[in-house]
């Protein structure tokens, strides 16, 4: 077994493309990344679509499926693909949970809360449409939709496309026996979809909007969206919360005996609102009124913590992770990131497992993220996380250390080119410091990314007349770089799932045969 420590760096949201226009990665001053890619073994990996278990290669990758693939070395059906398969074969509507939800709300209302887009990262509008259609087939009388607007995984100002599609679908079904309509909503970065307990106020605002029917009132979602846009130039993710009223009353408060489904399939931004509905001794904010509902998620977002208790589609049960493979060999592991990506180097890395496989051999460190807009502080906590991983590396207490730099992704999502450029430069500075520390301990450094984002900051408007900010992930490949080891990389097409075998090989441990193959031809 290799006694040399291995440092694994994930540059979140840093894709590689020869296109320079709108490319904050290429425009950034990155002497360390440039040096590593030009002078040390490097290849480009696929980080989207079928390589990470998504339905097609038109689907952008994301940090969750990316870290699943990196951490387990296998390709599992993920998110949209899981739900797609369940809807196509009808099993979602044969599930015990769906039948219970229908029975529970047959004389009341079924509520659907979720991100309204086809980004295939957190949700897909087609799933929502299928649930509304099936609700009518089951004989339900009322469906209310609480729409969270995207502008992040899809074009920044595309909300009305999805609102129009949803309203047209409801209109085609509505009659004297069935009434489906939008009841509330707001931008995903203001309402409901917090993650990692970074800002519970977002969830509280969502609770007031969806459950209590409190907030700015409008007669339609279109009016609400246009009202916000008239006041300030913001992307859909920052649309102010809204409540739809009729005759002065909210059309869709959530009441006792209603059923509630969270239609998102991705877990990180679904956990907190789920806790607000289900947690008996909930203390994060004053809910004021807690309706006696039946609550379910599209998936179970945390299998260990059983959140939520009821769900429509079984999540992938990931086995044979890299961590599990390394433990019998006594490999001491260290994982660090700031709050925004802490779960990615722990929970998602370990195959959607809360907690550790081994308290003795695994160390998790979270640096609390600043509660400021990312474009206002694009360096985020890169310096602090670098400080600590260098300290851990030099301590000699760890064999395998991993770090996620969230900057390229989180700042890239803001649409600010200048801030994203600075964010990439901050990551490069961290790489420079890590490279020096690796040299001092005679270690190995491996650098990758989990998907693209900062590499494409502009896209054409719908009529292609102007370029506008792009806030979504990209389909570009990501790097795999080895520094400090004399290796020969294979030729061929590889994806994120090939990384686990490669890391295991660098640690001197035979890869698990169930994994995708190593990208390393030989180590001299």
User: Which residues are annotated as catalytic?
Assistant: 63
What sign does the dihedral 192-193-195-198 (CA atoms) show? negative
- φ, ψ of residue 322 to 5 degrees: the values are -60, -40
Q: Would you say 227 and 217 are in contact if contact means Cβ atoms under 8 Å apart? A: no
Residue 468's H or E segment, with its range, is strand 467-469
What sign does the dihedral 384-389-390-396 (CA atoms) show? positive
Quick one: DSSP state of residue 92? H
What are the residues whose beta carbons fall under 8 Å from the beta carbon of 453, sequence distance 6 or more? 12, 13, 14, 15, 408, 409, 412, 413, 472, 473, 474
Residue 64's H or E segment, with its range, is helix 63-72
Q: How far is CA 365 from CA 125, 293, 370, in A?
A: 36, 37, 16
Distance of CA 279 to the CA centre of its chain: 23
The DSSP string of 369-404 is PPSS-GGGSTTTTHHHHHHHHHHHHHHT--SEEEEE
Nearest-CA neighbor of 338 among 303, 374, 304, 306? Answer: 374
Joined together, the tokens standing for residue 22 give 């709108």
Joined together, the tokens standing for residue 101 give 């939800």
Omega into 214 within 30° of 0, i.e. cis?
Answer: no
CA atoms of 67 and 211, how far apart (whole Å): 33
What are the residues whose beta carbons fall under 8 Å from the beta carbon of 478, sequence distance 6 or more? 14, 15, 16, 44, 45, 47, 448, 449, 450, 451, 452, 496
CA atoms of 237 and 226, how far apart (whole Å): 14
Residue linked to tokens 């070395």: 73
Joined together, the tokens standing for residue 505 give 């090989």
92, with CB counted inside 10 A (0-12, 13-18, 19+), is: buried
What sign does the dihedral 234-189-455-337 (CA atoms) show? positive
- φ, ψ of residue 516 to 5 degrees: the values are -65, 155
Nearest-CA neighbor of 218 among 253, 174, 185, 190? Answer: 185
């Amino acid at each position: 077994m290799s006694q040399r420590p291995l440092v694994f760096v994930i540059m979140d949201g840093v894709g590689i493309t020869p296109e320079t226009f709108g490319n904050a990665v290429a425009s950034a001053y990155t002497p360390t990344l440039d040096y590593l890619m030009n002078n040390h073994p490097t290849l480009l990996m696929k980080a989207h679509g079928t390589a990470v278990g998504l339905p097609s290669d038109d689907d952008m990758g994301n940090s969750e499926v990316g870290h699943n693939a990196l951490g387990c070395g296998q390709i599992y059906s993920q998110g949209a693909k899981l739900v797609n398969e369940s809807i196509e074969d009808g099993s979602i509507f044969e599930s015990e949970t769906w039948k219970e939800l229908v029975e529970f709300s047959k004389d009341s209302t079924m509520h659907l809360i979720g991100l309204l887009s086809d980004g295939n990262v957190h949700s897909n509008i087609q799933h929502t449409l299928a649930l509304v259609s099936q609700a009518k087939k089951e004989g339900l009388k009322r469906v209310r939709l609480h729409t969270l607007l995207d502008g992040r995984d899809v074009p920044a100002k595309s909300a009305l496309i999805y609102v129009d599609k949803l309203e047209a679908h409801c209109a085609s079904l509505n009659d004297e026996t069935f009434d489906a309509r939008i009841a509330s909503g707001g931008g995903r970065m203001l309402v409901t979809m917090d993650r990692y307990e970074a800002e519970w106020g977002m969830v509280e605002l969502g609770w007031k909007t969806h459950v209590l029917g409190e907030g700015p009132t409008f007669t339609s979602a279109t009016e609400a969206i246009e009202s916000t846009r008239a006041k300030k130039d913001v992307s859909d993710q920052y649309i102010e919360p809204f409540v739809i009223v009729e005759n002065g009353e909210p059309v869709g408060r959530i009441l006792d005996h209603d059923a509630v489904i969270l239609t998102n399939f991705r877990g990180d931004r679904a956990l907190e609102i789920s806790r607000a509905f289900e947690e008996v001794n909930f203390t994060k904010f004053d809910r004021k009124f807690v309706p006696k509902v039946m609550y379910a998620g599209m998936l179970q977002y945390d299998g260990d913590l059983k959140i939520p208790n009821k769900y429509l589609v079984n999540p992938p049960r990931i086995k044979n992770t890299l961590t599990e493979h390394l433990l019998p060999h006594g490999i001491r592991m260290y994982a660090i990131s700031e709050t925004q990506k802490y779960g990615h180097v722990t929970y998602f890395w370990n195959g959607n497992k809360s907690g550790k496989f081994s308290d003795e051999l695994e160390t998790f460190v979270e640096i609390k993220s600043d509660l400021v807009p990312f474009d206002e502080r694009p360096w985020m906590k890169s310096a602090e996380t670098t400080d600590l991983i260098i300290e851990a590396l030099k301590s000699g207490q760890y064999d395998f250390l991993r770090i996620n730099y969230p900057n390229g992704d989180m700042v890239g999502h803001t649409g600010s080119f200048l801030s994203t450029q600075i964010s990439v430069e901050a990551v490069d500075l961290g790489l420079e410091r890590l490279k020096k520390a690796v040299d001092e301990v005679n270690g190995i450094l491996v650098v990758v990314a989990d998907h693209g984002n900062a590499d494409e900051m502009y896209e054409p408007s719908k009529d292609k007349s102007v370029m506008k900010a792009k806030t979504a992930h990209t389909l570009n490949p990501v790097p795999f770089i080895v520094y400090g080891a004399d290796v020969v990389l294979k030729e061929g097409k590889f994806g994120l799932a090939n990384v686990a075998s490669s890391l295991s090989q660098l640690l001197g441990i035979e890869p698990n045969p169930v994994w995708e193959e190593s990208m390393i031809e030989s180590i001299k």
